[in-house]
Amino acid sequence: MSAAADSFLERAPLELRDWAVQLLPAPLQWISHHLITIVAVLAVFGLFFAFTTVAERKLLGRLQNRLGPNRAGLPKFSILPWHIRHKLFGLSQPFADAVKALTKEDIVPAAADKVLHFLAPVVVVGFSLMTFAVLPFGRNLIPVELDAALLYFFAAGSASELAIFMAGWSSRNKYSLLAAMRALAQLISYELPLILSVVPVVLVASTLSTSAIVQAQGAWTFGVLPHWFVFTPWGFAGFIIFLISALAESNRSPFDLPEAESELVAGHLTEYSGFKYALFFMAEYFGLTALSGLGVTVFLGGWQAPCELLYWVPSYLWFMGKLILMIMLFIWVRGTLLRLRIDQLTRLSWQFLVPLALLNVGNAAFWALTAQWSGPLQLVRWAVSAAIVIVPFLVIGRSLSAGYAPRTYRYAP
Amino acid sequence: MNSPAPAFASVPSPFGAPSGPTVRAVHDQFHGDLLEVSMGPQHPSTHGVFRMIASLDGEQIVKLKPVFGYLHRNHEKIAENTSYLASMPYTDRLDYLCSMSTNWAYALAVEKLLGQSVPDRAQYLRVILAEMTRIVNHSCLVGFLFNDLGTSFTPLLYAFREREKFIDLFESLSGSRMMCNYQRFGGCRVDPTPEWLAAARTLIENFPRFLDEYERLLTGNEIMLARTQGIGRLDPARAVNAGITGPVLRASGVDYDIRKVDAYGFYSRFDFRVPLGDHGDTYDRYMLRILEMRESVKILSQAFRDIPAGPIMDPKAKQRGHRPKAGEAYARIEGPKGELGFYLLSDGGPNPYRYRVRPPSLINLTLLEEMCLGHTIADSVVILGSIDIVLGEVDR
C-alpha cells in the first residue's frame, strides 16, 4: 500500500514542480513554487472547462436526437494520418468559440453602471476560481492545506452570487434586475441546505479539512466495498441533498431561474456580449466543477480508489474520473428536467431540504455515537439510521406534493 | 390590509391606471412601485412577434396587456381583390403550421357559396390530411409548451422528429412542406399514390409509440405537475362568453367540438370521442392535446381502412374563373386551435365582395390577462404557450 502511495506516477506532478523550482535562484523559489501551483490549476481546469462545454453540447445533442458540434477541427491536420478530412470530432469547438467571443463587439448599455458592469464578470470568475484552492485533487495534490477548508470553500462559492447581483443591477435592464433578485433569493435559500448537507460528514470525520475527510474514507470491507460516506444512510441522504443544492447554487437546470431563457431572455446576462459573456459562462462551469469536486471529495471518497486491487492507479485519475461522472450527471439532468418556479424553488429548500438536512445532522450524530456497535447491533444501527432519513422524507414529500397527481379524463357522451 | 389600494394612480403607466381585477400581494405604501416589463415583440417565448406588457408586483402579475398586429399583412383585403382560387395559397400563410386544415375551411366556404359537391375519395383525403395536421400542430404545441416550461429543447426536438415525418409526407403529396395549397373547390389537387397511403398508414400505426414515450417522460413529472396544475384556470362560463373554442374550451369542460356539432365533411362516418377537462388549467390543456392526438390516430386508422377509389375532383367542377351567385356563406371547421371559419359575401363577381376569417388564435387570446392575473411572470409564458397561438393567424 505504501509502495503504491509513493509510486512514481503519484509523485510525478510534485517532482516536476520541485525540479522546475530548484532551477531558479533562491529568492524566487518560494513565489515560483506557488505560482506554478496556481498556473497548473488554472491550466488544467481551464482546459477542463473547455472540454466540458463540448461534452455538454455533444451529450445534450445525443439526448435530443442530434449530433452536437462535430465540424470544428484543425485545418490540414488530423489525429488519424490516413484520414485527412477528420474533424477531430468537433473537439476544437471551444477554441473556435473563444476566438469568436474575443472578437465580438463589447457593448455596454448607455444607462449601465459602467464600473459594476465591468467588474461583475471579473469578480465572478475570480471567486469561482478561488474555490479550487482547497480541493484535494490527488493524494499529494492540494493547492492549499487549510484546516477550515470547507468554511473557506462555502465563503468563496457564495460570493460569486454577489457578482451575479452586480451584473443584474448594473445592466439597467428589467430582465436582468428580475434575474438578480431571483439569484439572491436562490442563494439565500440554497446556501443553507448545501452547508447542512456537509455538516454530517464534518461530524463523523471530526474535521473541516478536505484532505482529512478524504483520508477518513480510505478503507474497504473485504477489499471491494469502499468506505465512502455516500454508502451510509446519512451519507446517501446528504449526497442527494448536496446534489440538489449544488444544482441550485450553480444555477443549473432545473434551477436555472436567474437565466431562465423562456422567461427572462438571458437573465443577468442579457446586456452582456463578447468576452464578458464568455467569462460568466466560464464562471458558471468553474462553479459547477468546483461543487462537483467538493461532492466527490466529501461523499464519493475523493481520490480514493473504489477497491483495493485498483489502488495502484494514480489518485488524481480517480478524482478526475469521479468529477467527470458528476458533471455528466448534471448534463443529463439538464437534458431531462423542467424549470421550477421561484416560489416552488424556495419552498423546496425551506420546507423540504432544510428540515431533512437538519435531521440528517442528528442522524450522523447517532452514527458517530454508535461507532462501537458490532455484530447484529450493526444491523440495528443501519436500520435506525435509514429510518431517520426515509420516514421524514416520505412524510414531508407526501405533504408537499399533496394535490398534484396525474388526472384521468372523461369523454363527451 | 383591506384599505383601498393606494397610489396605483400615482405610478406613471403607458397604458393608464389599472382597471378590472388587480391582485397585489401586499397593500400598503411600503411596497413600492410596480415593475412594468415588456415581453416582446422580440422575446424567446412569445411564439412570434407578440408582445405582453406585464405589470409585476415582485414576480406576480397584476396587469397584463397583450399587444399584437406586428405581423398584419392585410390578408382579408388582398383576398377581396383576387379571384377565389388565388386566395387559396394565401390561406396557407394564416396558420402556417396547419395549412391543410386552413385550406379545407376556405374550400368549404367557397363550395357552400358555389353549391359544389365533393367526391367521396376527396372527402376522405380531407379528413386524413386534417387529422394529420392536427397531430402535427398538437405535437409542436406540447414541444413548445415544454420549452416554455424550461426544458432545454429535449421534448421540442422529440416532437419535431415526429413532425418531420408528417411534413415529409405533405411534401411528397403537395410539393411543399408547410405551404401545401392542396385543397380545391370540389375536391383535392393531387391524388396520393397507394405507396403514399401505405407510408402514411405505417406512420400512423407507429405514432402511439411516440405518444407513450412522450407521456412516460413528461406527463407524470412532478415539476410538470407543480408548474401546470391549477395554473391559468379558465372558467367555462367566461370561456363561452368570450367565444373561446377548441381544446382550450374543452379543457374547461365545455363539450363543443365542431366535428361533432356540424359533422362537416365525412366526420359523421368516424367513430371517435371528445375528451373533456374538469379544471380548465394548463395541465388540462396539455393533456387534452395528447388525448386528441390519440383520437386523431383512431380517426386516421378508420380513414385508411375505408378510403374508396374514385375521382378526387368533381368532374363537373370548374377549375378556375369561379363566379358564385350573389349571396353569402360561412363555413367553419374544427381546426387544431379551435373554430376556424371563413365568411364570404359574393356580389356575383370574380372576387369575393367581403372576405372575413374567424381566427381561433386571436379569439382564444382575448382572455390571456384573466388567466394570468395573480400568477407569476414564469406562469404567464406557460399559459400563453398552452393557449396555442400562431401569429400568422392572430394578425392576418
- For B58-71, what is each residue's pLDDT tens digit? 778 888 888 888 88
- Residue A317's CB: how many other CB atoms inside 10 A? 14
Cβ separation of A338 and B157 shorter than 8 Å? no
Tell me the average pLDDT of chain B.
Answer: 85
Cβ separation of B277 and A256 shorter than 8 Å? no
- Residue B216's CB: how many other CB atoms inside 10 A? 10
Q: Which chain A residues contact residue B157 at CB under 8 A? A: 64-66
HSE-up (13 A, CA, CB side) for residue A302: 26
The full length of chain B comes to 396
Distance between terminal CA atoms of chain B? Answer: 46
Q: How far is CA A292 from the centre of its chain?
A: 3
Cβ separation of A260 and B378 shorter than 8 Å? yes
Residue A289, classified by CB atoms within 10 Å of its CB into exposed (0-12), middle (13-18) or buried (19+), is buried
Backbone φ, ψ for residue A185 (5° rounding)? -60, -40
- Provide the ipTM: 0.80
Nearest to B169 by CA among B155, B180, B158: B180
DSSP single-letter state for residue A273: -
Smallest CA–CA distance, residue B181 to chain A, in Å, is 31
Whole-angstrom distance, CA of residue A127 vs CA of residue A145: 18
Smallest CA–CA distance, residue A407 to chain B, in Å, is 9
Those residues whose C-beta lies under 8 Å from the C-beta of residue A39, and which sit 6 or more positions away, are: none
Cell 524566487, residue located: A28
Evaluate if residue B12 carries a pLDDT over 50.
no
Q: How is residue B158 written as a grid cell?
A: 422529440
Q: Which chain A residues contact residue B222 at CB under 8 A? A: 401, 404
Whole-angstrom distance, CA of residue B379 vs CA of residue B281: 11
pTM: 0.83
Q: Which chain B residues contact residue A334 at CB under 8 A? A: 152
Q: How far is CA A88 from the centre of its chain?
A: 28
**Selected residues 50-79 of chain B with any CB under 8 Å from a CB in chain A:** 56, 59
Nearest to B153 by CA among B141, B143, B161: B143
Percent with pLDDT over 90 in chain B = 24
Residue A1 forms contact with B (CB below 8 Å)? no
Cβ separation of B381 and A261 shorter than 8 Å? no
pLDDT at B10: 45
Q: How is residue A182 written as a grid cell?
A: 431571483
Domains and CATH numbers, chain B: 75-395 (1.10.645.10)
Alpha helices (H) in chain B, listed in sequence order: 75-80, 88-92, 99-114, 120-148, 154-174, 194-218, 222-228, 236-241, 247-251, 258-261, 282-306, 360-365, 368-372, 377-387, 391-395
Q: Which chain A residues contact residue B227 at CB under 8 A? A: 338-341, 344
Evaluate if residue B1 carries a pLDDT over 50.
no
Q: Which chain B residues contact residue A253 at CB under 8 A? A: 150-152
Residue A116 forms contact with B (CB below 8 Å)? no
Q: How is residue B147 written as a grid cell?
A: 420549452
Evaluate if residue B297 carries a pLDDT over 90.
yes
Whole-angstrom distance, CA of residue B63 vs CA of residue B171: 44
Residue B273 forms contact with A (CB below 8 Å)? yes
Query: Are the beta carbons of A375 and A210 closer than 8 angstroms?
Result: no
Q: How is residue A348 written as a grid cell?
A: 423546496
Distance between terminal CA atoms of chain A? Answer: 76
B255 → chain A, closest CA residue = A412
Residue B5 forms contact with A (CB below 8 Å)? no
Measured at the CA of B247, the angle between CA B287 and CA B345, to 5 degrees, comes to 165
Residue A402 forms contact with B (CB below 8 Å)? no
Residue A398 forms contact with B (CB below 8 Å)? no
**Residue B11 — pLDDT band, cuts 50, 70, 90?**
very low
Q: Which chain A residues contact residue B44 at CB under 8 A? A: 261-262, 265
Cβ separation of B226 and A340 shorter than 8 Å? yes
**Selected residues 169-188 of chain B with any CB under 8 Å from a CB in chain A:** none
pLDDT at A1: 45
Whole-angstrom distance, CA of residue B383 vs CA of residue B164: 26
Q: How far is CA B85 from the centre of its chain?
A: 24
Whole-angstrom distance, CA of residue B328 vs CA of residue B305: 37
Mean pLDDT for the stretch of residues B244-261: 89
CB pairs under 8 A between A and B: 128
Answer whether the bond into residue B6 is a cis peptide, omega within 30°.
Answer: no
Whole-angstrom distance, CA of residue B53 vs CA of residue A106: 29
**Which residue from A174, A263, A405 is facing B378, i.e. has the nearest CB?**
A263
Percent with pLDDT over 70 in chain B = 92
pLDDT tens digit string along B330-386?
999 998 998 999 999 998 888 999 999 999 988 988 888 888 888 888 888 889 889
Smallest CA–CA distance, residue A397 to chain B, in Å, is 11
Selected residue of B39, B51, B146, B151 to mutate for chain A interface (largest A Cβ count, 10 A): B151
B383 → chain A, closest CA residue = A263
Q: Which chain B residues contact residue A341 at CB under 8 A? A: 226-227, 376, 378-379
Q: Tell me the domain boundaries of chain A.
A: 106-395
Residue A407 forms contact with B (CB below 8 Å)? yes
Residue B257 forms contact with A (CB below 8 Å)? yes
Query: Are the beta carbons of A411 and B287 closer than 8 angstroms?
Result: no
**Selected residues 51-70 of chain A with any CB under 8 Å from a CB in chain B:** 60, 63-66
Cβ separation of B147 and A262 shorter than 8 Å? yes
**Residue B24 — pLDDT band, cuts 50, 70, 90?**
low
Cβ separation of A340 and B223 shorter than 8 Å? yes
Cβ separation of A336 and B217 shorter than 8 Å? yes
Query: Are the beta carbons of B377 and B56 closer than 8 angstroms?
Result: yes
Cβ separation of B257 and A412 shorter than 8 Å? yes
Q: Which chain B residues contact residue A412 at CB under 8 A? A: 255, 257, 260, 273-276
Evaluate if residue B5 carries a pLDDT over 70.
no
Residue B98 forms contact with A (CB below 8 Å)? no
Q: Which chain A residues contact residue B284 at CB under 8 A? A: 407
Selected residue of A262, A396, A408 to mutate for chain B interface (largest B Cβ count, 10 A): A262
- Residue B177's CB: how many other CB atoms inside 10 A? 16
Cβ separation of A265 and B43 shorter than 8 Å? yes
Cell 485527412, residue located: A84
pLDDT at A374: 79
Whole-angstrom distance, CA of residue A232 vs CA of residue A73: 46
A339 → chain B, closest CA residue = B150
pLDDT tens digit string along B168-192?
999 999 888 888 889 888 888 888 9
Q: How is residue B4 written as a grid cell?
A: 383601498
Q: Which chain A residues contact residue B273 at CB under 8 A? A: 411-412
Smallest CA–CA distance, residue B189 to chain A, in Å, is 35
Mean pLDDT for the stretch of residues B148-174: 89
**Residue B7 — pLDDT band, cuts 50, 70, 90?**
very low
Q: Which chain B residues contact residue A262 at CB under 8 A? A: 44-45, 147-150, 381
Evaluate if residue B316 carries a pLDDT over 60.
yes
Ranges of chain A whose pLDDT falls below 50: 1-2
Q: Which chain A residues contact residue B282 at CB under 8 A? A: none
Whole-angstrom distance, CA of residue A264 vs CA of residue A258: 8
Cβ separation of A401 and B226 shorter than 8 Å? yes
Single-letter code of the amino acid located at A183: A
Cβ separation of A341 and B274 shorter than 8 Å? no
Residue A260 forms contact with B (CB below 8 Å)? yes
Residue B276 forms contact with A (CB below 8 Å)? yes
Query: Are the beta carbons of B376 and B50 closer than 8 angstroms?
Result: no
Give 3-state DSSP helix, strand, coil % of chain B, rounded to 5. Answer: 45, 15, 40
Element of type H or E holding B352 = strand B352-358
